[in-house]
Structure 1
Amino acid sequence: MLNYQRYRGFPIFRYPKRSWTEREIEKAPIWCSVDLRDGNQALVEPMSVEEKLEFFQLLVRLGFREIEVGFPAASQIEYDYLRNLIERKQIPEDVTVQVLVQCREELLDRTFESLVGLDKAIVHIYNSTSVLQRDVVFDKSREEIKEIALRGVEMVKRHEKDFSGKVRLEYSPESFTGTEMDYALEICNAVIEAWDVRPGREIIINLPSTVEMHSPNVYADQIEFMSRNLKRRDSVILSIHPHNDRGEGVAAAELALLAGAQRVEGTLFGNGERTGNVDILTLAYNMFSQGIDPKLNLENIREIQEVYERCTKMSIPPRHPYAGKLVFTAFSGSHQDAINKGLRAMRERKGTIWEVPYLPIDPADIGREYEPVVRINSQSGKGGVAFILEDRFGYRLPKGMQREFADYIQKISEEQGEVSPEQIFEVFRIEYLESREPIEFRNVRSTDIENADGSYTTFADVTYRNAGRLHEFSGSGNGPIAAVLSGLNKELSMQGKVLDYSEHALNAGSDSKAVSYIHLLDEESGRSSYGVGVSSNITRSSIRALFAAVNRLFYPEEAEESGRRRVKEAEEKKA
């Protein structure tokens, strides 16, 4: 049994004056990528200088205008990387790089040395303020910990005087979520005063959930409390840096934005220490799905994923939101049916607003248009199979035929697992389109004669093959299908009756073909089956469908063998 008695909840900060519960996200925040520092330090094999350069260029293309490039005082590689960016003029004018540094003189010396040549930079200082770290790591009082932060501010100010560019200070009370809120406010306000914050000299106050300790609503209360009580608030950019220890980083960030946060620090795909940082891509795509411009260029998730995986040597889980291999895939039959109907409704209604069940966004909008949305396995139903035939191959099966055809695919999937769209269509061709034995329609001549009551009777003369030999018969009825069926009933001594008929164009344009579906009943046995026919002539497609239905209903073994042979011959001819 889990020894839950070893643990206790950290005291919850309660803020009854909260108003974030009544708000909604209306615009994107300032985004700051920390992939090249917080994400990079968490890699088993940190990125090389060239890999970091490629990653930096990706972030610039995506539209990040604030990018934390590393901890230049921590190692020679980090220092060389920043110098490489500056000396090779890789930093666009509208991009501000951010560097992290502890509040120590020798580290700040090295950091400002690495910034030479820049016209602007964000210098990010931090020190841990939590109850636990004050006790077991630093053994210092609240006043002593505050003094560390203030000394850091004074050191940055001294270096600022000799720096040719503009410095924006960022301060983080690390382990903010484990800090008493009155003390977090006290130390942040002291930093604001020490930096002499005013319009034109703004400061970034960054409030990290270095360890996610509560449910997201508590983090939102903490953020709103700070937002309401920080001094010189109009000149403070309130930033958040959520981690994901409880798996709630995205939710915590979204609620924090409601609570007054203006800026988000995070990483692509949530890479970072332990369970990672907040995933900026998920946050941005969530906004996009609600009709909000995320202010990032995220149209090609494939490119983002490819560069990320190659440079970090990390892989994206198949169920990762938006980027995962399976996130736009449905195996459940009911889900597949709903997706199919939703997409059809979008087409028929010419809708401009995306509304499809189970698909919060159009996969095509983020570069996923070439993937099948529905995949078929033993858990799939008729809706999924029908969707594949319509979406990939253009055949809109009648409802009854969907059930009939799905049975064939169900048997295959139970034996082998997932069934590919190509395999589904091959079975469809064998069972329906190439079902031409023992009888095969060849030609028809039809004439319409007007009756005394104004109705018409169709007379049809049909040429067909039976077991390879040519035959002819005649028939009459109230249309071409009825006329041909009456002749077939006499010719083959059967009792066939059409239960249903439908047709549609297989593709657009003047050279489009018609596809016809006929549901045929054997009145003697009570059995029924479908046939499908395709032709550039609607009458010929309907008669081909009728012949296919006769073969499948009265001669099923010969029809299946005929289909397999014809498909094989066609493939050999292509090869």
Structure 2
Amino acid sequence: MENYQKYERQYFMPPVCSYDWVKKDYIDHPPIWCSVDLRDGNQALIEPMSLEEKLEFFTMLVKLGFKEIEIGFPAASETEFEFARTLIDKHMIPDDVTVQVLTQAREHIIKRTFEAVKGAPRAIVHLYNSTSVAQREQVFGKDKAEIKKIAVEGAKLLDKLAKETSGNFAFEYSPESFPGTEVDYAVEVCNAVLDVWKPTQDHKVIINIPTTVEIAMPHVFATQVEYISRSLKYRDAVTLSLHPHNDRGTGVSDAELGLLAGADRIEGTLFGNGERTGNVDIVTLAVNMFSHGVDPKLDFSHIQEVGETYERLTRMQIYERQPYAGALVFTAFSGSHQDAIAKGFSWRNEGKDNGMWTVPYLPVDPKDLGREYDGDVIRINSQSGKGGVSFILKSKYGLTIPKEMQADVSYTMKDISDREHAELTPDRIRDEFVAKYVNNHSVFQVNECHFRQGDGILTELTILQGGKEHVIEASGNGRLDAVSNALKSFFDVTYELSSYEEHALTRGSSSRAITYVGITKDGKTYWGVGNDEDIIRSSVNALCVAVNQLEQVQNLLDGSDDRINAILTYIQDNYLSVTLDDLSRQFYLSKPYLSKYIKDKSGKTFGENVKQVRLKKASSLLRNGNMKVEKVAEASGYQNVEHFNRLFKKKYGMTPVQYRTSART
């Protein structure tokens, strides 16, 4: 950036800097909160909210606990005027809530504002005028005395109209464009306004300091606020308010340090919406306090619901990494962080008498914000830790994966994510888990299983393999051992039955048994999972899935053409929408195995087979009809005609139009 020399610091330090605010390390009580979503936040929207939407938003703010809500600039538009009148005339303002309206220090605007709030049970009339050096010299062409007079005359008119208008009114004043104003002059103007209003502890007024265009570091702003707090007249009768913006990205810091410096009140918006770069994010401020054990007096225990309502009404989108509310905030992608969450270390009670908690990775427990430890917390990609997948399967689907099995499951999911360059959702993880470990009957399955007592346990199995049923018998020390011996004999394989665990399904029907069976051959363990109301059937199913994965058993598929023919036929019949997921469910094969099997048997990948069928369909339509190329592309499974044209030309050496012409000559 070459033009840095054209810029210079434009803020003003106070005449006296005490820096006592630095000695405080946290905010020990919440400020008075004032939401300006319905004014500052609304006017920043590309499509401002309708009256009905503003009423719904107002109701939400009340439920969240806001006691002061700025409802608009009623002199600026008929919609905002109507909104104010609707709230007042329909008695929609709760007894403990005060509405606020904004007005410039101009006579006709002030009068219109009082018309809007006439009869209000409680209303703050917020007066402002600009005081900065740039505004004084370049916009208004007025000196300090003249600018102060504008503020004083506006304050006098507020006082006069409040006495003449029915309703209960309080006053607020802002030296607009404060960041570019000399701090001592800003105090001079504020004190002149206070001399007009003469506040008392029974009838306080608000002095509001805005960072209209944020131009200084947060510690500078805090030092300015501390000076103002100590220099205002009637201080015990003044509520010192801040209205931070976010031009430098430090709106939250401005607010937090400003509160340490003596401010009593914060004006801001949910999720930081507002003109230009936004206002201070009240959600972040409030939950930051909560994370330090301070009750913010705002309820964000259902933050997702709040976010969804906010997005629907404002048509704004909450950024995925927005503090506390973003979709990815309570997500652990990397291995060690993810495993820590999965093992329960994200919030761990140390058993201390003071009830303190340790937080290795998260500022607050997601559950306190209405967010669950499920796919919202841990998402799986190629860098995920082995605990993350197992945590999702347990917390969301009730599957407690044995410790010895977790690495195998994790690597299965990470291989898929790595191959597809995509993050796996919880439902996708479940589907892939079921395809490989539960429904994997790629070579055989057991249709019937009977037991009787003899020399040990005798079993009779009916196995379906290669389209034929086979009845075999064997014996063992127990039922599962007998079935295992039967499978070893039938397939002429050897392995060790090395792991067995079971539990009741902890989600959904508690009567279903989940069984995990691991078999080991040549140092490698293969896993199967059974899910049945009968524990024996569940165990047998799990064993069969594990045996289906043995390489010696899988090799039995190599001599069968029926399966690949059936797969290719299915692709041909469903070419418009077929996916590997569809084939996996249809043929009970895991996707990794299915991909390799299709390539080995047909000489083409799944995608190449689909493309071949689609382009063959397209060539037929071009030869035998008059359908437009766009329609041919759509009928062949391609929504993007340009993509279709490129694929077709690569296949046939000519465009679809050229192909049609050549086919008819």
Q: State the TM bucket, normalised to the shorter chain.
A: 0.7 to 0.9
Give the equivalent residue in structure 2 for 1:427. Answer: 432
1:377 match: secondary structure: coil
* Greater CA drift, 415-424 or 382-391: 415-424
CA, structure 1 residues 384+197, in 2 after alignment: closer, same or farther (shift >3 Å)? same
CA, structure 1 residues 556+59, in 2 after alignment: closer, same or farther (shift >3 Å)? same
Give the equivalent residue in structure 2 for 1:9. Answer: 9
Give the equivalent residue in structure 1 for 2:169. Answer: 167
Q: Aligned-pair distance for 1:112?
A: 2.1
With structure 1 as the length reference, what TM-score do the two structures score?
Answer: 0.84
Q: 1:148 aligns with which of 147, 150, 160?
A: 150
Alpha-carbon distance in structure 1 between the residues aligned to 2:376 and 2:436: 23
CA, structure 1 residues 297+407, in 2 after alignment: closer, same or farther (shift >3 Å)? closer
With structure 2 as the length reference, what TM-score do the two structures score?
Answer: 0.74
* Greater CA drift, 200-209 or 20-29: 20-29
Alpha-carbon distance in structure 1 between the residues aligned to 2:460 and 2:362: 50
1:146 match: secondary structure: helix
CA, structure 1 residues 344+257, in 2 after alignment: closer, same or farther (shift >3 Å)? closer
Alpha-carbon distance in structure 1 between the residues aligned to 2:52 and 2:388: 45
Give the equivalent residue in structure 1 for 2:413. Answer: 409
Whether the aligned pair in 1 keeps the contact of 2:459 and 2:479 (CA below 8 Å) is no
Give the equivalent residue in structure 2 for 1:297. Answer: 299
2:275 match: secondary structure: coil
CA, structure 1 residues 506+356, in 2 after alignment: closer, same or farther (shift >3 Å)? farther
Q: Aligned-pair distance for 1:471?
A: 1.6
| 2:378 paired with 1:374 | yes
Alpha-carbon distance in structure 2 between the residues aligned to 1:100 and 1:87: 19
What letter matches 2:504 in structure 1?
A: A
Give the equivalent residue in structure 1 for 2:49. Answer: 47
Gap regions ≥5 residues in structure 1: 448-457, 571-575
Q: Aligned-pair distance for 1:156?
A: 1.9
Q: 2:527 aligns with which of 530, 548, 561?
A: 530
Q: Aligned-pair distance for 1:254?
A: 1.6
Give the equivalent residue in structure 2 for 1:452. Answer: none
Q: Aligned-pair distance for 1:85?
A: 2.4
CA, structure 1 residues 226+431, in 2 after alignment: closer, same or farther (shift >3 Å)? same
Offset from partner CA, 1:36-64 (integer Å, 9 cap, x none): 22222223333333433333233223322
Alpha-carbon distance in structure 1 between the residues aligned to 2:42 and 2:278: 11
CA, structure 1 residues 435+159, in 2 after alignment: closer, same or farther (shift >3 Å)? closer
Alpha-carbon distance in structure 1 between the residues aligned to 2:343 and 2:471: 44
Whether the aligned pair in 2 keeps the contact of 1:485 and 1:496 (CA below 8 Å) is no
CA, structure 1 residues 482+84, in 2 after alignment: closer, same or farther (shift >3 Å)? closer
Give the equivalent residue in structure 1 for 2:554. Answer: 556
Coordinate RMSD, CA, aligned: 3.6
Alpha-carbon distance in structure 2 between the residues aligned to 1:238 and 1:559: 78
What letter matches 1:475 in structure 2?
A: G
What letter matches 1:556 in structure 2?
A: Q
Alpha-carbon distance in structure 2 between the residues aligned to 1:20 and 1:249: 18
Give the equivalent residue in structure 1 for 2:517. Answer: 518
CA, structure 1 residues 493+6, in 2 after alignment: closer, same or farther (shift >3 Å)? same
What letter matches 1:425 in structure 2?
A: R
Give the equivalent residue in structure 2 for 1:470. Answer: 471
CA, structure 1 residues 69+484, in 2 after alignment: closer, same or farther (shift >3 Å)? closer
Q: Aligned-pair distance for 1:220?
A: 1.6
1:555 match: secondary structure: helix
1:118 match: secondary structure: coil
Percent sequence identity is 51
CA, structure 1 residues 9+253, in 2 after alignment: closer, same or farther (shift >3 Å)? same
What letter matches 1:9 in structure 2?
A: R
CA, structure 1 residues 50+533, in 2 after alignment: closer, same or farther (shift >3 Å)? closer
What letter matches 2:93 in structure 1?
A: I
Q: 1:336 aligns with which of 335, 338, 342?
A: 338
What letter matches 2:118 in structure 1?
A: V
CA, structure 1 residues 446+514, in 2 after alignment: closer, same or farther (shift >3 Å)? farther
Give the equivalent residue in structure 1 for 2:609. Answer: none
Whether the aligned pair in 2 keeps the contact of 1:119 and 1:164 (CA below 8 Å) is no
What letter matches 2:553 in structure 1?
A: Y
Give the equivalent residue in structure 2 for 1:394. Answer: 398
Alpha-carbon distance in structure 2 between the residues aligned to 1:417 and 1:509: 29
Give the equivalent residue in structure 2 for 1:205. Answer: 207
What letter matches 1:195 in structure 2?
A: W
CA, structure 1 residues 559+247, in 2 after alignment: closer, same or farther (shift >3 Å)? farther
Give the equivalent residue in structure 2 for 1:280. Answer: 282
**Residues paired across the two proteins, number:** 555
| 2:89 paired with 1:84 | no
1:314 match: secondary structure: coil
Offset from partner CA, 1:301-322 (integer Å, 9 cap, x none): 3443344334433332233233
2:53 match: secondary structure: helix
Offset from partner CA, 1:489-518 (integer Å, 9 cap, x none): 677654423444433333279954443333
Whether the aligned pair in 2 keeps the contact of 1:439 and 1:464 (CA below 8 Å) is no
2:343 match: secondary structure: helix
Alpha-carbon distance in structure 1 between the residues aligned to 2:509 and 2:36: 55
Offset from partner CA, 1:429-451 (integer Å, 9 cap, x none): 2322234554638244569xxxx
| 2:221 paired with 1:223 | no
Q: Aligned-pair distance for 1:209?
A: 0.9
* Greater CA drift, 388-397 or 199-208: 388-397
Whether the aligned pair in 1 keeps the contact of 2:472 and 2:490 (CA below 8 Å) is no
CA, structure 1 residues 460+190, in 2 after alignment: closer, same or farther (shift >3 Å)? same
2:47 match: secondary structure: coil
Q: Aligned-pair distance for 1:208?
A: 0.9
Whether the aligned pair in 2 keeps the contact of 1:438 and 1:559 (CA below 8 Å) is no
Whether the aligned pair in 2 keeps the contact of 1:66 and 1:95 (CA below 8 Å) is yes
Q: Aligned-pair distance for 1:90?
A: 2.3
Whether the aligned pair in 2 keeps the contact of 1:434 and 1:566 (CA below 8 Å) is no
Alpha-carbon distance in structure 2 between the residues aligned to 1:544 and 1:343: 35
Alpha-carbon distance in structure 1 between the residues aligned to 2:98 and 2:80: 17
* Greater CA drift, 3-12 or 357-366: 357-366
Alpha-carbon distance in structure 2 between the residues aligned to 1:82 and 1:565: 59
Give the equivalent residue in structure 2 for 1:506. Answer: 505
CA, structure 1 residues 70+363, in 2 after alignment: closer, same or farther (shift >3 Å)? same
Offset from partner CA, 1:403-422 (integer Å, 9 cap, x none): 22333333433236233433
CA, structure 1 residues 469+335, in 2 after alignment: closer, same or farther (shift >3 Å)? same
Q: Aligned-pair distance for 1:3?
A: 1.8
- Answer 1 or 2: higher relative contact order, Cα 8 Å, separation at least 6: 1
Alpha-carbon distance in structure 1 between the residues aligned to 2:26 and 2:50: 41
Alpha-carbon distance in structure 1 between the residues aligned to 2:583 and 2:4: 66
Whether the aligned pair in 2 keeps the contact of 1:339 and 1:357 (CA below 8 Å) is no
What letter matches 1:505 in structure 2?
A: A
What letter matches 2:61 in structure 1?
A: L
Give the equivalent residue in structure 2 for 1:442. Answer: 449
User: What aligned pairs does 1:99-138 form with structure 2 within 5 A after superposition?
Assistant: 99-138=101-140
